[in-house]
């Protein structure tokens, strides 16, 4: 299960640690954030203890109106065994009862200078990216005219060589050999390269080359949304390949269906140009221009006219 440690959140948002230092290695496993208003009022039946607890001006103002006994009981219950941490926004004063409870249960209390709504939005975005479902795919990811194209196929079919040609033609390499993919949204998957092999390309017979060093910073990028998959396979004489492009094949990656095109490979075919044109054609389709459908429609009209004569 993906997780983010409290100390990573502290570093990312430059948070001040008030108390509970022993718990800075506590894991966060959900991206949801809780603002415990009802809990402050004493209702703990559905307290989401596994979430980061965010206390802003409203919650703290209400807490200051409670009696000493109510403060001790309610603020103490916020610091459960599974609570990752509590963050105070707007640089507000932290109640002494909350600090005491956090030290007893090793729940980190942190403080931010930012406004509550702004901080909540930023923290949610950060956690959603870090905790998004992930997978890894053997292939090459290239940014072609703004379209993230994942090139897949068996080892030795020519994926890296094709990517090299695409980089020479002005496109940008994202990842070679291993593409790490995370589901950022319902229909959005983003690919990136493992840190160890970032900007590197392996060419058989030549070895490993650094694309950024050879072609400059404009030839690489760190991540890219994956819009389509180009599957390379060795040409089979008896296999029927799509010649019109009417049937759109899909490939499921995590929870997202991505357009897939199968390209047969044989000597004499310029794969880089084919993939480049496929990316441009994909953009045209998204803009409502479908050459295959237009051709089919014209053909149907011609046949209809001939039959009517």
Whether residue 116 sits in one domain with residue 30: yes
Q: What pLDDT score was predicted for residue 50?
A: 95
Please identify which of the residues 7, 35, 122, 177 carries the catalytic annotation.
177
Query: Which among 65, 239, 243, 309 is annotated as catalytic?
Result: 243
Which pTM value belongs to this model?
Answer: 0.74
As given in the structure block, the two tokens for residue 68 are: 């000493």
- Are residues 73 and 157 both part of a single domain? no
- Choose the catalytic residue: 11, 115, 138, 168: 138
Structure confidence by residue, pLDDT tens digits, 146-178? 999 999 999 888 899 999 999 999 999 999 999
- For the domain that residue 219 is a member of, what is the CATH number? 3.40.50.300
Are 151 and 90 in a shared domain?
no
Do residues 176 and 106 both lie within one domain? no
Asked if residue 303 belongs to a domain, the reply is: no
Under 8 Å between Cβ of 54 and 87: yes
* Structure tokens belonging to residue 194: 């493992």
Residue 301 lies inside a defined structural domain of this protein: no
Known catalytic membership, residue 159:
yes
Domain boundary among 130, 147, 177: 130
- Per-residue pLDDT, 306: 67
Q: Residue 114: its pLDDT value, please?
A: 94
Instruction: Identify whether residues 141 and 290 lie together within a single domain.
Output: yes
- For residue 304, being part of any structural domain is answered with no
Residues 76, 160 within the same domain = no
Contacts of 69 (CB under 8 A, 6+ apart): none
What's the domain count of the chain? Answer: 2
Asked whether 230 and 151 are in contact (CB, 8 A), the reply is yes
Residue segments in the chain with a per-residue pLDDT below the cut of 70:
1, 241-246, 292, 299, 305-309
199 is catalytic: no
Last residue of a domain, one of 130, 155, 189: 130
Do the domain assignments include residue 69?
yes
Residue 154 lies in a domain: yes
pLDDT at 9: 96
97 and 162 both lie in a single domain: no
Is 155 annotated as contributing to ligand binding?
A: yes
* Consecutive H or E run containing 263: strand 256-265
Residue 158 known to bind ligand: yes
83 within domain boundaries: yes
From 102, 130, 158, give the residue that closes a domain. 130
**Catalytic residue at 45?**
no
Domain that includes residue 283, residue range: 134-296
pLDDT for residue 246: 64
Helix ranges (DSSP H) in 229-309: 271-286, 291-308
* 76 known ligand binder: no
153 annotated ligand-binding residue: yes
Tell whether 124 and 138 lie within a shared domain: no
> pLDDT tens-digit profile of 230-259?
999 888 777 776 666 667 789 999 989 999
Active-site residue, selected from the candidate residues 26, 71, 159, 224: 159
Answer yes or no: is 156 a known binding residue. Answer: yes
Q: What is the pLDDT of residue 1?
A: 63
Number of H helices, E strands in the chain: 10, 19
Distances, alpha carbon 294 to alpha carbons 285, 288, 290, 299, in Å:
11, 11, 6, 9
Is position 307 within any domain? no
- Asked if 166 and 77 sit in the same domain, the reply is no
Residues 198 and 174 grouped into a single domain? yes
160 is in an annotated binding site: yes
Please enumerate in sequence order all residues whose Cβ is within 8 A of that of 157, keeping only pairs 6 or more positions apart, or say none: 232, 233, 234, 265
Q: Does residue 203 form part of some domain?
A: yes
Answer yes or no: 92 catalytic. no
Q: Are the CB atoms for 12 and 39 separated by under 8 Å?
A: no
Are residues 158 and 83 part of one domain? Answer: no
CATH number of domain containing 72 = 3.40.1390.20
Q: Are residues 177 and 291 in the same domain?
A: yes
121 annotated binding-site participant: no
């Amino acid at each position: 299960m993906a997780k983010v440690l409290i100390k990573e959140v502290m570093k990312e948002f430059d948070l001040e640690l008030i108390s509970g230092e022993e718990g800075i290695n506590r894991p966060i496993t959900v991206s949801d954030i809780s603002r415990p208003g009802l809990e402050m009022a004493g209702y703990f039946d559905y307290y989401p203890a596994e979430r980061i607890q965010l206390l802003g001006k409203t919650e703290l103002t209400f807490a200051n109106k409670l009696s000493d006994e109510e403060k001790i009981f309610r603020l103490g219950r916020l610091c459960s065994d599974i609570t990752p941490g509590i963050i105070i926004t707007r640089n507000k004063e932290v109640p002494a009862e909350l600090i005491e409870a956090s030290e007893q249960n090793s729940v980190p209390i942190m403080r931010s200078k930012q406004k509550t709504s702004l901080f909540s939005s930023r923290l949610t975005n950060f956690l959603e990216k870090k905790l998004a479902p992930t997978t890894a795919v053997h292939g090459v990811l290239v940014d072609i005219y703004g379209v993230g194209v994942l090139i897949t196929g068996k080892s030795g079919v020519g994926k890296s060589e094709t990517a090299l040609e695409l980089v020479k033609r002005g496109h940008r390499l994202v990842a070679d050999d291993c593409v790490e993919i995370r589901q950022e949204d319902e229909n959005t998957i983003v690919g990136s390269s493992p840190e160890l092999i970032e900007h590197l390309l392996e060419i058989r017979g030549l070895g490993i080359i650094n694309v950024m060093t050879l072609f400059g910073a404009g030839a690489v990028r760190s991540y890219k949304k994956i819009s389509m998959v180009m599957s390379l396979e060795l040409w089979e004489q008896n296999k029927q390949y799509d010649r019109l492009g009417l049937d759109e094949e899909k490939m499921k990656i995590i929870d997202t269906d991505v357009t897939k095109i199968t390209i047969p490979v044989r000597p004499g075919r310029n794969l880089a140009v084919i993939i480049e044109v496929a990316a441009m054609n994909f953009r045209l389709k998204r803009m409502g221009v479908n050459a295959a459908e237009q051709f089919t429609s014209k053909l149907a009209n011609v046949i209809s006219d001939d039959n009517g004569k």
